[in-house]
Copies of this chain bind each other. A is one copy, B any other.
Amino acid sequence: MDLNFTDTEAQFRAECREWLQANVPTGLPSGDTHEGFALHLEWERTLFDARYAVVSWPEQYGGRGATAMEWLIFEEEYYRAGGPQRVTQNGIFLLAPTVFDFGTDAQKDHILPRMARGDDLWAQGWSEPGAGSDLAGIQSKAVRDETAGGWRLSGQKTWTTRGAFCTHLFGLFRSDPTAERHRGLTYFLVPLDADGVTVRGFGRLDGDEGFAEVFLDDVFVADDAVLGGVDQGWSVAMATAGVERGLTLRSPGRFLAAADRLVDLYRSVGDAADDRLRDDVVKAVIDAEAYRWQTFLTVTRMLEGESTGSESSMTKIFWSEMDVRIHATALGLLGPDAELDGPWMKGYQFALSGPIYAGTNEIQRNVIAERVLGLPRK
């Protein structure tokens, strides 16, 4: 055990900190609005130009080949500097790991650099009106078009985050109509400007147009739009949904920064006499530290070749419920001002999505019980 950062790590941290503190934009509007999105995209390009967009990727795709520990350090510094949520995150954190594992060389060469530069903006197309927590209930279809050498996609995707601002969509489609549930699905990559695609943005809880419905009506895509094998979509999607998702989608840096902001708020408005809120602030600090060190423990295990797996369900529950508690504590500190449409109230509403998306926490608790503890499914 050595919990000191190596000289290399410490130097990497110092570099990141210096650059981020000099460059992180302040006061950006929400990236889930049309105006805000454009400004966020500028920031993404600035990150890319400084090779901070995708630090853990190989250099050939725009990264620095940073280690997992370095990536965690970058994330800590990114949020510490007040960096905004990444509008490119669904591509970088959900699609890219899958491309690395299952993409052809041609796919990697085409998709990854464009994603890193923000040329292509990827939206996820998992959910459908009838398939939320139950992803295997997907109805959207892919029909083989031998003549044209590709596939014709039809159906409806929904709850597509920032779908109205993105250029591409990745998602599962039912390519074998005779197969049931999670069989017979294929993972497709779809340009949103293709003929037959209609995107309708709609508002989420906080009123921002952060969601979209995507309607696909006989949309043609060529064979190279398939990621991984035909009819292998479920295993392709799931292979990178575990550890990677838990780790990369919500790095500890975000919650360390949120806990820091909460401490600042406590100092500025906290009534020293109210020990209940004081205790809640301390709990938030401890929880964020616990999440940080659990991540270091997990990453060490990964780096040493241990498999982790279903533990990502614990991670998802922990960060999402911690995030709600941090924001609820802040609203308590604000007292009557909590009702105002300020950053903590906005953040609270955003936090409330955490226990719902990427598999509800109810589903995640089932996964922990069944796969980590070994309880019977039925």
Contact = CB atoms under 8 A, between A and B. Distances in A.
Interface of A: 273-276, 279
Q: How many copies make up the complex?
A: 2
Contacts of A276: 275-276, 279
The CB with the most chain B CB atoms within 10 A, among A273, A274, A276, is that of A276
Nearest to A279: B276
Contacts of A274: 275
A273 B278 CA distance: 12
Contacts of A273: 275
A279 B275 CA distance: 10
Contacts of A279: 276
Nearest to A271: B275
Contacts of A275: 273-276
6 contacts: A273-B275, A274-B275, A275-B275, A275-B276, A276-B276, A276-B279
Nearest to A277: B275
A211 to B, nearest CB: 28
A281 to B, nearest CB: 12
A268 to B, nearest CB: 20
A279 B274 CA distance: 10
A279 B279 CA distance: 12
Nearest to A276: B276
A226 B161 CA distance: 66
The 6 closest A-B pairs by CB, nearest first: A275-B275, A276-B276, A276-B279, A275-B276, A274-B275, A273-B275
A273 B272 CA distance: 10
A36 to B, nearest CB: 40
A176 to B, nearest CB: 30
A92 to B, nearest CB: 41
A274 B273 CA distance: 9
A245 to B, nearest CB: 30
A218 B273 CA distance: 68
A40 to B, nearest CB: 40
Nearest to A280: B276
A282 to B, nearest CB: 11
Nearest to A273: B275
A378 to B, nearest CB: 12
Nearest to A275: B275
Interface centre among A273, A274, A275 (most CB of B within 10 A): A275
A68 B58 CA distance: 78
A227 to B, nearest CB: 38
A80 to B, nearest CB: 30
A278 to B, nearest CB: 8
A149 to B, nearest CB: 47
A146 to B, nearest CB: 44
A275 B274 CA distance: 6
Nearest to A274: B275
A273 B276 CA distance: 11
A275 B279 CA distance: 10
A275 B278 CA distance: 10
A274 B275 CA distance: 6
A21 to B, nearest CB: 37
A7 B273 CA distance: 45
A276 B275 CA distance: 6
